[in-house]
Amino acid sequence: MKHDVGNIHITVTRDGPYIVTGEVALSEQTIGVDANGQSEQWIATDLPSPGKKFALCRCGQSGHKPFCDGTHVKVGFDGTEVADRTPYLVRAKEYDGPDLVLLDQENLCAFARFCDPNGQVWNEVGAATSPQARRTFIDQVGKCPAGRLVVWDKSSNKPIEPHLEPSIGLIEDPAESASGPIWIRGGIVVTSADGEQYETRNRATLCRCGASNNKPYCDGTHASIKFHAK
């Protein structure tokens, strides 16, 4: 099913959940690893549609995850948004290669680890010149759910992004025995509790463990605290 991204919107509520409006596909996205334990692929499992308006837990303590059940009020959740709202291209560090540039905004890291295989993408960009090496590099970077990493094509002077339908994924990370963030895909609009729209991006990850220091975005803390959504 194709979804009109113009009808899908996420609003961050003050010290409360994410309010999602619009008909959007919801899925569980599991990080699949290879024989060496390195992140290799996304394994998707479709979830039932929750309707055209629903609330996703942001404090990490709901008894009805992934949905909000009001627990944030009982526990006094502090969901203050602290993420820098400067555009990605302004803040991203550049790693230059012959044909491609790797852009990296480190504080968006969701610790999915697709950047690690093949000697790590920061080292690969300089060798991404043959058709096969280029395809491997672009595919690897495109699997980064947070959009921390982006491939920039020098010839077109544009980013190379995977095609993602507007949708929401709930990340599970069995290798780390943890549940990961909310993966928003395909240019879904996110608005802060103070009414300001965040930069709309093809890939982004929102914190759902309640412990990120870069709210509303994930910073990988779920892995260190072994957050479980199930």
Is the pLDDT score of 4 beyond 70? Answer: no
Q: pTM of the entire structure?
A: 0.96
pLDDT at site 2: 45
Structure token digits, residue 144: 């980064």
Rounded Cα distance between 228 and 147, Å, is 23
**Could you tell me the two tokens for 166?**
């507007």
Q: 103, 152 in Cβ contact below 8 A?
A: yes
Q: Are 18 and 206 in contact (CB under 8 A)?
A: yes
Buried b (16+ CB within 10 A) or exposed e, 15-41: ebbbbbebbbbbbbbbbebeeeeebbe
User: Closest Cα partner for 94 from 104, 106, 108, 81?
Assistant: 104
Torsion of CA 132, 137, 138, 140, to 10 degrees: 120
Does residue 19 contact residue 11 with C-beta atoms inside 8 Å? yes
Structure tokens at 15: 């010290």
CB 183 within 8 A of CB 199: no
Cβ neighbors of 41 (< 8 A, separation 6 or more) are 32, 143
9-64: per-residue pLDDT in tens? 999 999 999 999 999 999 999 999 999 999 999 999 999 999 999 999 999 999 99
CA-based R_g, the chain, Å: 17
Q: What dihedral angle (degrees, nearest 10) is formed by the CA atoms of 168, 203, 171, 109?
A: -150
pLDDT at 5: 67
pLDDT tens digits, residue range 85-120? Answer: 999 999 999 999 999 999 999 999 999 999 999 999
Q: Helix, strand, or coil here: 91? A: helix
Give 226's pLDDT tier (boundaries 50, 70, 90). Answer: very high
24/3 Cα distance (integer angstroms): 7
Q: How far apart are CA 105 and CA 92, in angstroms?
A: 4
Tens of pLDDT, residue by residue over 201-225, are 999 999 999 999 999 999 999 999 9
How far is residue 24 from each of residues 17, 203, 218, measured CA to CA in Å? 17, 15, 21
Share of the chain above pLDDT 90, in %: 97
